[in-house]
Amino acid sequence: MEYILSWLIWLPVVGMVAIAFIPREKEDLIKQAAAVTTGVQFFLTLVLWNNFDSQDGSMQFKEWAEWIPSFNISYHLGVDGLSLPMVILTGMLFFIGVFVSWNIKKAVKGYFALFLLLNTGVMGVFLSLDFFLFYIFWEVMLLPMYFLIGMWGGPQREYAAIKFFLYTLFGSVLMLVGILGLYFSCGKTFDILELTRVAPEALGGLMWWGMSAIKVIWVLLFIGFAIKVPVFPFHTWLPLAHVEAPTAISVLLAGILLKLGVYGIIRVNYGLMPDGVYWFSYALALLGLINVIWGGLCALAQTDLKKLVAYSSVNHMGYSLIGMAAIVAAGEANGANIKAAQAGMGGAVFQMFNHGTISAMLFILVGVIYERAHHREIEGFGGLASQMPVYTGITAVAFFAGLGLPGLSGFISEAMCFIGAFPVYKTIVIASTIGILLNAAYFLWAFQRIFFGELNEKYNDLPEINRLELFTVVPLLIITLFFGIYPAPYLDIISSTMDTIIEHVVDMATYASM
C-alpha cells in the first residue's frame, strides 16, 4: 500500500523487461504478458480508489525520495481527486488497449514493449508531484508514441508520427523554459506542492522585459499543455495522428493523452499562477468556444469516419476549457459565485473522464468497422443497421453519448461546464451552445449515412462485432451509461479536491493588475 504509486508507474517497465526476454516468435506469450501487466496495474488503480479518502482534498499516498539534491529534484509522487480518476482511466484504457491491439501482426514484441513504456510515461505524469519528474515522464511518452504511430500506423504514418513529435516537442521545450523560470524565481524548487505554496507570492510583481513574469510563464506552460489538449491553433497534429495511428493508439491518444493537457493546466497553471488564471480565463473560454465551433464544423465536413471522431475530440475538449474558465466565478469580482466555480471545474474534470471513455469507445468502434470493410469512408457504407444490429446499437449509444444525450455521461459534464461558465461568460456560453447542435448534426448525419438506407450489397456478408471487440467496448459503454444516470460517485471523488483548487485560486490571487 505504501508504495502503490511507484508500483503503478514502474509495473509496466517490469512488464516491458519481461517482454524483452521473450523470444519474438512467441507472440501469444507476449500479448499475455502485456495483458497481465496492464491488468494488474488496472487492479491496483482500483485498489487505490478503494483506499482513497474522497473527503480529503489534499495529496494522498505521497511518496518522497531524494534524487538530485543539487537541484532540489526529488522523486515525489502523490494522488488527489484530480489525478485519481485519470489514473483509473489510464489503467483501464491501457488494459483494454491490449485487447484492442490483439490482432497486431507486425513486430508484436516491439509493439507491446513500447506500449508498456508509454503506459509508464502517462502514469508518471499523472502521479508525479515533482516538476522535473513530471517533465521527464512527459517526454518519455513521446518516443514510444512516435514509434507506435510511425510503425504500426496507416499509409501516412511516418508524416503523422514526426509531425506529432515535432509539435509536442516544441510545446515541451517552451514548457521547460517556463519550468526553469519558475524554479529560479520561486526559491529553487521543483516540488509542485512547494511551488503551489510559494509561487503566487514569489511571482507577484516580477517583471521580465516589461512583461509580468506570471504572464510569460503562464503562456510558456500553457502552449506546452495546449498542444496536448489540443487548443485551437495547435490542434492540427491531432486529426492526422488519430487517423494514422493504429486503433489502440488512437484510443489512448484520445482517451488519455489529450487529458494530460487539461490536467497540466489545472495542476500547474491554476495551482502556481492564480493571478494568471484571472488574466487568462476569458481567453481560455474564448479558445474553448473556438474549439467547440471549429471542431464541430470540421467534423461536419469530414468524409473519413475516424477523422470525424478525431475532430469531435477537438470539439469536446472545448467544453472542458469553457468549464475551467468558470473558476473565476468564485472570485470577489464575479460575486464569489462558488456554485458556478464548482459546476465549471467539476464539469471540466468530469468531461475529461467522459471524453476519455466516449472517444475511446468511438475509436474502438471505428476500428471494428475498419477491420471488416478496410475503409472508413462514411459514404462508402449504408444500411449496416440491418446487417450488424448489435454493432449498430452500440455505435448508436456511443454516438448519442458523443452528442451529449441526457442519460449518458457526456451530457452531465457538458451541462456542468455550461452552467458553470454561464454567469461569467454569458455570450461565450450562449454562442457555444451552437456546438451541441453541431454535435448532433455531424453524429446523426454520419450515423444515417453509415447505418440507414438500403444495405450496400457489397457488405451483405459483413460479420457482426465479435466477442473480443465486445469485451473491449462494453465496459466503456456501461461506465458511460452508469455515470450518465448517476454521476455522484465520480463527483464525490473530485469535489473536495476541486474545492481545494478553487479556494487556492481565489485566496492566493493578488488580483493585482499585471
Partner 1 sequence: MNNLQSLSYFYPELLLTMVILVAIIYDLFIDSSESGKVGWVLVFGLVLVAISIWFQDSSKVTTLFTDAIVLDPFSTFFKLLIILATIFVSIVSLHSGELENYRKGEYFSLLGIITFGLFLMVSSIDLIMVYVSIEIVSIMSFVLAGYLKKNTRSNEAALKYVVYGAFSSGIMLFGLSYIYGLTGSTNFFQIQQTFAASGPESNSAILIAVIMVLAGFGYKISAVPFHFWTPDVYEGAPTTITAYLSIAPKAGALAMMIRFFNQVLADGGAMVGMGSFSSTDIPWPSILSLLAVLTMTVGNVVAIQQNNVKRMLAYSSIAHAGYMLLAMPVMSGESVYAIMVYLVMYLFMNLGAFFVVITVKNRTNGETFDDYKGLGWEMPIVGISMTLFMVSLTGLPPTAGFIGKFYIFASLIQGGSAFYWLVIIGGINSVISLYYYLRVVKVMYFDGERKDSLLFPPRVLSGMLLVTAIPTLVLGIYWVPIAEWIQSSLVFFIQTI
Partner 2 sequence: MMEHIFIHYSLFILFLPLVAFVIQIFFGKRLPREGDWVSIGAISITLVLAINMFVQMLLDYDSDFSVEASFVWLDMGAFNIRLGFLVDNITIIMLLVVALISTCTHIFSTQYLKGDIRYSRYFGYLGLFTFSMNGIVLANNLMSMYMFWELVGVSSYLLIGHWFEKDSAANASKKAFLTNRVGDIGFFIGIMLIYSAVGSFAFTDVFDGVASGVIAGTTLTLAGVGLFMGAMGKSSQFPLHIWLPDAMEGPTPVSALMHAATMVAAGVYLSVRIFPILTPDALLVVAYVGGFTAIFAASIAITQTDIKKVLAYSTVSQLGYMILAVGTGVYTAAFFHLLTHAMFKANLFYGSGSVIHSMHHALHEKHDHETDPQDMRNMGGFKDKMPITYWSMLLSTMAIAGVPLFSGFLSKDAILAGTLSFAMHHPEHFLLPLFGFGAALMTAFYMFRMMFLTFHGEPKMPELIDDIHESPKEMTGPIVLLGALSLFIWYTLPYFNPMSTHGWFTDLVVPKDAVVPGNLSANEIEEGAHHAHYLAMYISIAVATLGILLSWATYIKKAVSADQWSARSGFLYNWSLNKYYFDENYDRYIYQPTLRLADKVAWIDWELYDKYFINGFGRLTNWASKITGKFDYDVIDQLLVDGTGRISNLIGRKFKSIQTGKLQNYVLYVAAGVIILMVIQSF
In the complex, the residues that contact partner 1 under the rule CB under 8 A are: 67-71, 106-107, 135-136, 139-140, 142-143, 146-147, 150-151, 157-158, 162, 165-166, 169-170, 173-174, 176-177, 180-181, 183-184, 208-209
Q: Say if residues 421 and 325 touch (Cβ distance below 8 Å).
A: yes
Q: Evaluate whether 129 touches 193 at the Cβ level (below 8 Å).
A: yes
Within 8 A by CB and 6+ apart from 501, the residues are 82, 266, 270, 271, 327, 345
Min separation Cβ 211 and partner 1, Å? 10
- The smaller minimum CB distance to partner 2, of residues 72 and 456, is found at 456
433 binds, among partner 1, partner 2, none (CB under 5 to 8 A by kind): partner 2
Count CB neighbours of 223 within 10 A. 19
Find which of partner 2, partner 1, none residue 191 binds, CB within 5 to 8 Å per kind.
none
Residue with cell 475503409: 375
Site string for partner 2, 401-420 (x = CB under 8 A): ----xxx---xx--xx-xxx
Query: Could you say which DSSP state residue 266 is in?
Result: I
* Residue in the structure block whose three cell numbers are 516544441: 170
d(CA 191, CA 155): 43
Interaction residues for partner 2, span 61-120 (CB under 8 A): none
- In angstroms, the CA 251 to CA 383 distance is 26
Nearer to partner 1, 15 or 346 (CB): 15
The interface partner of residue 412, options being partner 1, partner 2, none and the CB cut-off 5 to 8 Å by kind, is partner 2
Q: Which residue, 209 or 332, is less far from partner 1 as judged by CB?
A: 209
Gap between the terminal Cα atoms of the chain: 45
Site string for partner 2, 444-463 (x = CB under 8 A): xx--x--xxxxx--------
Q: Which does 209 bind (CB under 5 to 8 A by kind): partner 2, partner 1, none?
A: partner 1
Nearer to partner 2, 433 or 460 (CB): 433
CA distances 404 to 165, 286, 351, 446, Å, are 32, 21, 11, 16
The entry of partner 2, partner 1, none near residue 71 (CB within 5 to 8 angstroms by kind) is: partner 1
Residue 76 backbone class (left: φ over 0; alpha: ψ -120 to 50; beta: rest):
beta
Q: Within 191-210, which residues bind partner 2 (CB under 8 A)?
A: none
Q: Alpha-carbon torsion 250, 255, 256, 257, what sign?
A: positive
Which of 72, 339, 456, 470 touches partner 2 (CB under 8 A)? 339
The three cell numbers of residue 20 are 524483452
The rounded distance, in Å, linking the Cα atoms of 416 and 351 is 9
Binding partner of residue 177 among partner 1, partner 2, none, CB cut-off 5 to 8 Å per kind: partner 1
Decide: is 480 part of the binding site for partner 2 (CB under 8 A): no
Task: Give me the least distance between CB of 173 and partner 1, in Å please.
Answer: 4
